[in-house]
């Protein structure tokens, strides 16, 4: 997968007990995050899937936690 904040798909998986994974086509010019986890714990009865698009990237040296970000206050 792509690294965090890089163009492409960055994926993190929780505990996995099965091999099929949710797939989503990713445009070649977007940074996408996919989180998956099975539910209940240690079972494959259900699966949580979260897709997110990167809307902003701020270098750590420039990060100001007091500055509101897009979608906040």
Q: Can you give the pLDDT at residue 37?
A: 79
What's the rounded Cα separation, in Å, for the pair 17 and 21? Answer: 11
Cβ 32 vs Cβ 9: under 8 Å: yes
Ordered per-residue pLDDT tens for the chain, 73 residues: 788 778 888 777 665 555 555 566 767 788 888 888 778 877 778 888 888 888 888 888 988 888 877 666 5
Which residues partner with 7 through β-bridges? none
Q: Which residue has the tokens 């091999």?
A: 19
Using CA atoms, how far residue 18 sits from 22, 37, 54, in Å, is 11, 11, 28
Non-local CB neighbours of 28 within 8 Å, separated by 6+ positions:
7, 8
């Amino acid at each position: 997968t792509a690294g965090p904040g890089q163009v492409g798909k960055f994926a993190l998986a929780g505990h996995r007990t099965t091999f099929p994974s949710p797939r989503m086509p990713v445009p070649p010019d977007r940074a996408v995050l996919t989180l998956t986890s099975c539910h209940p714990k240690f079972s494959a009865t259900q699966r949580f899937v979260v897709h997110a698009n990167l809307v902003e990237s701020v270098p750590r040296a420039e990060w100001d936690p007091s500055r509101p970000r897009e979608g906040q206050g």
